[in-house]
A and B are shown apart, each in its own frame.
Chain A
Amino acid sequence: MKTSATKPAASRPSRASRSRGPSARELIFGDLWEFDPAPETADPYIRSSYGLFINGKFSPARKGGSFPSISPGNEKKLTDLALADAADVDAAYSAASKAYEKVWSKLPGNERGKFLYRIARLLQDRAREFAVAESLDGGKPIKESRDFDVPTAAAHFFYHAGWADKLDHLAPGRQVAPYGVVGQVIPWNFPLLMLAWKIAPALAAGNCIVIKPAETTSITALKLCEVFQEAGLPPGVVNVVTGAGETGAAVMSHPLASKVAFTGSTEVGKAIMRSLAGTGKKMTMELGGKAANIVFEDAPLGQAVEGIINGIFFNQGHVCCAGSRLLVQESIADDMLTRLKLRMQSLRVGDPLDKNTDIGAINSKEQLTRISELVKSGVAEGAELYQTPCRLPSKGFYFPPSIFSKVTQSHRIAREEIFGPVLSILTFRTPEEAIEKANNTAYGLSAGVWTDKGSRILKMASQLKAGVVWANTYNKFDPASPFGGYKESGFGREGGRQGLLDYCKLL
């Protein structure tokens, strides 16, 4: 296990030269060729403080409240954010409502589309800057924010721009119309991307927005407001209010919101649904998951290993659709475990801004505590824990990639969403048993199937109770591909034709 080394390679003894030599069949992933630190140095242009973005302008919270935002990679303060109270949220909704009545609802679809195209292009121009800001703010490796989060966010705006003048194709035989004003709350795991997933379709459909980013990761949302200004987006069309749970509740329950969209934990989703019961508000929920990643003995094993690793360690496992349960066919379970442990040897944990980091920081102290607690429970309940030895940075919130073998359905680590870099490995004997175990959860967001047999892929896909099934791959996202869950993972979809329909009323 490698860290972003600050010591030069020469001063550390090579693993091969220690006590005994390698046994006949051991591969040495040592420090023969140590990578130097490779810090990303592009300036993220983060202001020392941000106001709320209401009616096209940044302004302080009315009561002047603010709260700091730190970088989980080193615990240093990044900026001060405004704390929006109920009055601020109200002002945001008024701005959205006015913008809708007077401007946005009067624009033809293709003109709305042009704003979205501009936003996509301007974000592409400033991609590097946004990637650095995202990694600093949230803890994910710069490699991921640069190669995945930012380009995919831009793609979402680009894709939805093209729908704005084609809404009459969404529902055959029916006309559609926007809701008017929508309220949205998003989580901290993909701050910019979740923002794009919410804003792009809402705007394409003709709505105006009040949106609250997560309190630990608001920076790229606020930077995107600068892009809205540069793109000439009419004031009030998108309003960003920053704050924590109370602000979020105000956004979800405001009377001017005809529809609300929430992405976050199932627990909070239930609370929101309770509070909105009887109000007639349209809702979509994108909640938690405990996905089963199913590997059959005939799977292309090298690539299955990559898929499993990617499925649970991508973004430190802070992914609602993470492949957090590996269901491996018993006949290859030992082989799989060996291969996984080998593959983990070349994963690098460390500074999110180092270009060679594979696994960055855990988003917050709270999340780190939660992960540690669940991992302790796994050990206490008798599962076998493996973590490759690695030196974690002394400051910041970090957790080593971990795999548990000998896990069963009754273990907490098999049922509860950990939302961290922790894989639980269970076994199965037959396809029916795999389906049974995969579906044995209240969640239903995603699943993976690895096999060389096409008909089996289709059969498994048809029986898995999950909104997204990945076959011989994992964690693939595209603006054209609808994403969302079954059961307690939520309802409604994001992406594609189905996702866009969720932002339209049928006339």
Chain B
Amino acid sequence: MTARNRSLKRLVETHGAVDAVGIEERVAKFTTRSIKKTAKLWGLNRAVTMIDLTTLEGKDTPGKIASLCQKAIAPFDLSTIPSVAAVCVYPAMVRHAKRHVEGTGIRVASVATAFPSGQTALKTRLEEVRTAVQDGADEIDMVINRGAFLSGDFASVQDEIAQVLAACGASTLKVILETSELETYDNIRAASFLAMQVLRPNDFIKTSTGKTSSNATLANNQVMLEAIRDFYLETGTPISMKPAGGIRTAKQALHFLVAVKETLGDEWLNNTRYRFGASSLLNDLLRQLEKERTGAYQAPYTFSEADGAY
């Protein structure tokens, strides 16, 4: 093990372990918070503004991107409904997205670095980042090198993040840890610190690509929120958070927001500091907002881009 790896290993060990049973008990308490009336409306609206509306499919086309962007700008035919934070697309689609959302305040986030696996040469990954930025990406969602992490080569993990950061220029960087491949909460906490050490204020750490069977959970979200908190208290640098994949219902989104409220407090309850990587979540938030407004439960097909016909 190289000296640098040894010192990084000590770094992650200093930040300590995570007790799995303990953290799962803590997050269970978030799900028993009762959010009603004005608090519920506030939460639902806030969650809408935090969405990175996402499409990441091999079959994405400019037409699909156009639909996504229109949905992002105007989720529902009610002026009281806010817009989302960003659209999140593959690098080849960035310029199509940019065309549609330019001037609306909605940001264009691009996945890059051979998303989702990350398994190509570093120079290819960096070139992909630079091209996406040139095409107009305001934000880059990168994946860390899990192979390097799991074999103990923490230096490579951190250096690659730093290099991607440099290629981003002024664009915000989100670092995807891919929690399902890191598996343990200890690893997720360690990877969080490795990344945060080289990030700027308001760059992000992100749970997952959404492309594996297990994505954002309250527990892995909590591990990362606590890492962000501890890092902020130590260094003063505020890092932002994005859970992605697996958050489909408004109820879940509210639980995630309670977690933010009780772990990081008021300063993180906005879309500079917190995002949801989601697609079907938006319509469930709209359903709940409409229900609060009219008093009646809504059919899913009332909302555009709904994916069920029944």
For B42, give its contact among A33, A143, A147 (CB under 8 Å): A33
For A355, give its contact among B19, B32, B37, B46 (CB under 8 Å): B32
Most buried by B among A25, A27, A302, A356: A302
Is A24 an interface residue when CB atoms closer than 8 A count as contact?
Answer: yes
| Distance from A16 Cβ to chain B, minimum over Cβ atoms (Å) | 6
Is B170 an interface residue when CB atoms closer than 8 A count as contact?
Answer: no
Is A346 an interface residue when CB atoms closer than 8 A count as contact?
Answer: yes
Stretch from A34-42, A381-389, A436-444 forming part of the interface with B? A34-42
| Distance from B15 Cβ to chain A, minimum over Cβ atoms (Å) | 9
Proximity bits, B24-47, A CB within 8 Å = 1, else 0: 011000001111111110110010
- Whether B269 lies near A300 (C-beta < 8 A) is no
Most buried by B among A16, A338, A356, A473: A356
Proximity bits, A344-366, B CB within 8 Å = 1, else 0: 01100000000110000000000
A25 proximity list for chain B (CB < 8 A) = 232-233, 236
Is A307 an interface residue when CB atoms closer than 8 A count as contact?
Answer: yes
- Whether A472 lies near B267 (C-beta < 8 A) is no
What's the Cα separation between A355 and B264 when bound, in Å? 22
Is B262 an interface residue when CB atoms closer than 8 A count as contact?
Answer: yes
Q: Contacts A35-B33, A36-B37, A143-B32 known; A302 to B226 CB distance under 8 Å?
A: yes
- Whether A300 lies near B32 (C-beta < 8 A) is no
For B267, give its contact among A28, A147, A300 (CB under 8 Å): A28
B42 proximity list for chain A (CB < 8 A) = 9, 33
What's the Cα separation between A16 and B270 when bound, in Å? 14
The total of chain B residues at the interface (CB under 8 A) is 34
- Whether B17 lies near A300 (C-beta < 8 A) is yes
Q: Contacts A9-B38, A36-B38, A302-B18 known; A28 to B26 CB distance under 8 Å?
A: no
- What residue of chain A has the Cβ atom nearest to residue B260's Cβ? A33
What's the Cα separation between A34 and B40 when bound, in Å? 10
| Distance from B44 Cβ to chain A, minimum over Cβ atoms (Å) | 12
B265 proximity list for chain A (CB < 8 A) = 27-30, 345
- Whether B22 lies near A33 (C-beta < 8 A) is no
What's the Cα separation between A28 and B266 when bound, in Å? 6
For A338, give its contact among B16, B46, B233 (CB under 8 Å): B233
What's the Cα separation between A24 and B18 when bound, in Å? 26
What's the Cα separation between A80 and B110 when bound, in Å? 68
- Whether B43 lies near A298 (C-beta < 8 A) is no
Is A8 an interface residue when CB atoms closer than 8 A count as contact?
Answer: yes
B40 proximity list for chain A (CB < 8 A) = 36
Q: Contacts A22-B267, A33-B39, A143-B32 known; A306 to B22 CB distance under 8 Å?
A: yes
For B19, give its contact among A9, A32, A300 (CB under 8 Å): A300
User: Among residues 27 to 69 in chain A, which have CB atoms less than 8 Å away from a CB atom of chain B?
Assistant: 27-36, 38
Is B6 an interface residue when CB atoms closer than 8 A count as contact?
Answer: no
Is B261 an interface residue when CB atoms closer than 8 A count as contact?
Answer: yes
- Whether B16 lies near A14 (C-beta < 8 A) is no
A32 proximity list for chain B (CB < 8 A) = 261, 266, 269
For B266, give its contact among A14, A298, A303, A356 (CB under 8 Å): A14
What's the Cα separation between A307 and B22 when bound, in Å? 8
Interface residues on A, range: 35 or more
For B16, give its contact among A22, A147, A300, A472 (CB under 8 Å): A300
| Distance from B166 Cβ to chain A, minimum over Cβ atoms (Å) | 26
B39 proximity list for chain A (CB < 8 A) = 9, 33-36
For B43, give its contact among A33, A147, A338, A356 (CB under 8 Å): A33
Is A301 an interface residue when CB atoms closer than 8 A count as contact?
Answer: yes
Q: Contacts A28-B265, A36-B36 known; A472 to B19 CB distance under 8 Å?
A: yes
What's the Cα separation between A22 and B35 when bound, in Å? 27
Is A452 an interface residue when CB atoms closer than 8 A count as contact?
Answer: yes
What's the Cα separation between A147 and B46 when bound, in Å? 29
B22 proximity list for chain A (CB < 8 A) = 300, 302-303, 306-307, 472-473
For B229, give its contact among A27, A30, A33, A38 (CB under 8 Å): A27
Is B182 an interface residue when CB atoms closer than 8 A count as contact?
Answer: no
Q: Contacts A25-B236, A28-B265, A32-B266 known; A303 to B26 CB distance under 8 Å?
A: yes
B23 proximity list for chain A (CB < 8 A) = 302-303
B21 proximity list for chain A (CB < 8 A) = 472-473
What's the Cα separation between A356 and B39 when bound, in Å? 12
B46 proximity list for chain A (CB < 8 A) = 33
What's the Cα separation between A147 and B34 when bound, in Å? 14
A15 proximity list for chain B (CB < 8 A) = 266
- Whether B267 lies near A306 (C-beta < 8 A) is no
- What residue of chain A has the Cβ atom nearest to residue B24's Cβ? A303
- Whether A27 lies near B264 (C-beta < 8 A) is yes
For A35, give its contact among B16, B25, B26, B34 (CB under 8 Å): B34
- Whether B34 lies near A38 (C-beta < 8 A) is yes
A8 proximity list for chain B (CB < 8 A) = 38
- What residue of chain A has the Cβ atom nearest to residue B261's Cβ? A33
26 contacts between A and B (CB under 8 A): A9-B42, A14-B266, A24-B236, A25-B233, A27-B232, A27-B233, A27-B265, A27-B267, A30-B265, A33-B39, A33-B43, A33-B46, A36-B35, A36-B36, A36-B37, A36-B39, A38-B35, A143-B32, A300-B16, A300-B22, A306-B22, A306-B26, A307-B22, A338-B233, A346-B261, A472-B21
Given contacts A33-B261, A355-B32, could you give 14 more A-B pairs where the C-beta distance is less than 8 Å? Answer: A28-B267, A30-B265, A31-B266, A32-B266, A33-B46, A33-B257, A35-B35, A36-B35, A36-B38, A38-B35, A300-B16, A300-B18, A452-B17, A473-B22
B contact residues vs A (CB 8 Å cutoff)? 16-19, 21-23, 25-26, 32-40, 42-43, 46, 226, 229, 232-233, 236, 257, 261-262, 264-267, 269
